[in-house]
Amino acid sequence: MSRAIFIPRDGLHPVLDRLSAEMDVWVPVASGPQKCGGEFVRYVPGTVPVLERQSTTPPKRILLPQVESLLSYAYVKDPEDASRVKINLQAEIAAKPTVVFGARPCDVRGFLLFDRVFTGGPFQDEYYRKRRENTFFATLVCRQWDAACFCSSVGSGPADMEGSDLRLTPLEDGFLVEAINRRAHPILKLMGGEQPTKTQLEAAENLQKETTEEQVGTGDLTHSGDDFRGRFEDLEYWRSMVSQCISCGVCTFVCPTCYCFSITDEMQGLEGERLRSWDSCMFYQYTLEASGHNPRPSKFERYRNRIGHKFSFIPAKYAGMIGCCGCGRCIRSCPVSIDIRKVVENLKENACACS
């Protein structure tokens, strides 16, 4: 048995207070006017974590902020010779030790893809890398999937702990917290908590086993690359699949595996800041070139690219890894109810495009 502590339900706040005094702690909370949404926020004493349902937006902004300043710069003119200009650059990467407490396996799977994209090749994204090295995931064994979830269909599952550092198993009266790797030992020590009883350890083990055997989502979408390529030129198929799409981009912003961004320079006088902000491949402007040409001018071409990226191009590049974690957020959030599972399932030859 790995190192473990037990946190009673009414003992969660003291544990998070202790942790947040030493490091940044992010937790899911209720959000929106009716409090029926959910998002990850930085914990301060008094924050009420909501661990009983999946958050509406994933924790991706913790490691890939929605907008971040990459560097600031200032042009400095030589007072002796105005034609000579020097540029002063400043770049700071804030990477405080951070715990993401209460993420779900699908949330962490998004970061497994980000690891490959931002740090897996010859060019490293230092901003992401530094934050990632300082981030620990305390991940829930998920028991609250709904009709939109399909993590098992994309090669994961509700008890998948790949990429996590600590496992949180929800029990009737609290949580069993286990360190999955050595780097998590100091975090567990900081948390404090109680020594788990034999009964609690057994109950947690049973729940983990039971959850591992669950099949969340029907069908297997892990080998859809060939189907995608077979349907690539079937323009009627793609048009019919996204005829209702309004190109709002919500599906990409709520997606834990979408990482498109754009870079802009904001200048005032001789000073400026270089910003990285989330972007969306569902926007017309995303691929608009300076010449006015757009290689993906219509929404069906943009959506086809989105599906191809997740189920064909990413698996081809990253040893079969699917670029979708099956969290179902795009299905729940799409204002016109486009269901990515149907689009991918229907790629199969002879499948009816209208189902």
Q: Using CB under 6 A, which of the segments 75-83, 240-248, 285-293, 346-354 binds ligand SF4?
A: 240-248
> How far apart are alpha carbons 142 and 140 in whole angstroms?
5
**Could you say whether residue 347 binds ligand SF4 (CB under 6 A)?**
no
- From 345, 147, 306, 333, select the one nearest 355 (Cα to Cα): 345
Residues 6+ apart with CB under 8 A from 306: 251, 252, 281, 282
**Could you say whether residue 120 binds ligand SF4 (CB under 6 A)?**
no
Report whether 255 contacts 106 (CB < 8 A).
Answer: no
**Could you say whether residue 117 binds ligand SF4 (CB under 6 A)?**
no
**Could you say whether residue 108 binds ligand SF4 (CB under 6 A)?**
no
Report whether 143 contacts 108 (CB < 8 A).
Answer: no
Q: Please say which residue, 48 or 336, places its beta carbon nearer to ligand SF4.
A: 336
**Could you say whether residue 321 binds ligand SF4 (CB under 6 A)?**
no
Q: Using CB under 6 A, which of the segments 84-92, 211-219, 224-232, 255-263 binds ligand SF4?
A: 255-263
**Could you say whether residue 220 binds ligand SF4 (CB under 6 A)?**
no
Instruction: Give 3-state DSSP helix, strand, coil % of the chain, rounded to 5.
Output: 35, 25, 45
Q: Using CB under 6 A, which of the segments 30-38, 118-126, 319-327, 344-352 binds ligand SF4?
A: 319-327
Q: What token pair was written down for 119?
A: 């740090």
Binder of ligand SF4 out of 95, 103, 188, 254 (CB under 6 A) = 254
We find the least distance from the C-beta atom of residue 352 to ligand SF4, in angstroms, to be 20
Q: Please say which residue, 95 or 331, places its beta carbon nearer to ligand SF4.
A: 331
Binder of ligand SF4 out of 105, 158, 170, 256 (CB under 6 A) = 256
Q: How many CB atoms lie within 10 A of CB 260?
A: 16
Beta bridge partners of 140: 168
Q: Using CB under 6 A, which of the segments 8-16, 114-122, 139-147, 336-344 binds ligand SF4?
A: 336-344
Residue with the two structure tokens 């996204």 = 242
Q: Please say which residue, 200 or 305, places its beta carbon nearer to ligand SF4.
A: 305
Binder of ligand SF4 out of 21, 263, 267, 336 (CB under 6 A) = 336
Q: Using CB under 6 A, which of the segments 159-167, 187-195, 262-270, 326-334 binds ligand SF4?
A: 326-334
Q: What token pair was written down for 36?
A: 């029926």
Report whether 27 contacts 43 (CB < 8 A).
Answer: yes
**Could you say whether residue 151 binds ligand SF4 (CB under 6 A)?**
no
**Could you say whether residue 260 binds ligand SF4 (CB under 6 A)?**
no
Helix ranges (DSSP H) in 64-197: 105-119, 126-133, 185-191
Q: Which residues of 113-142 are buried (b: 16+ CB within 10 A; e: fewer)?
A: bbbbbbeeeeeebebbbebbebbbbbbbbb
We find the least distance from the C-beta atom of residue 248 to ligand SF4, in angstroms, to be 4
> How far apart are alpha carbons 29 and 40 in whole angstroms?
6
Q: Please say which residue, 168 or 325, places its beta carbon nearer to ligand SF4.
A: 325
Q: How many CB atoms lie within 10 A of CB 93?
A: 13
**Could you say whether residue 328 binds ligand SF4 (CB under 6 A)?**
yes
Binder of ligand SF4 out of 64, 255, 344, 347 (CB under 6 A) = 255
**Could you say whether residue 184 binds ligand SF4 (CB under 6 A)?**
no
Q: Please say which residue, 100 or 176, places its beta carbon nearer to ligand SF4.
A: 100
Report whether 203 contacts 171 (CB < 8 A).
Answer: yes
Residues that bind ligand SF4 (CB under 6 A): 245-251, 254-257, 282, 310, 324-330, 334-336, 338, 340
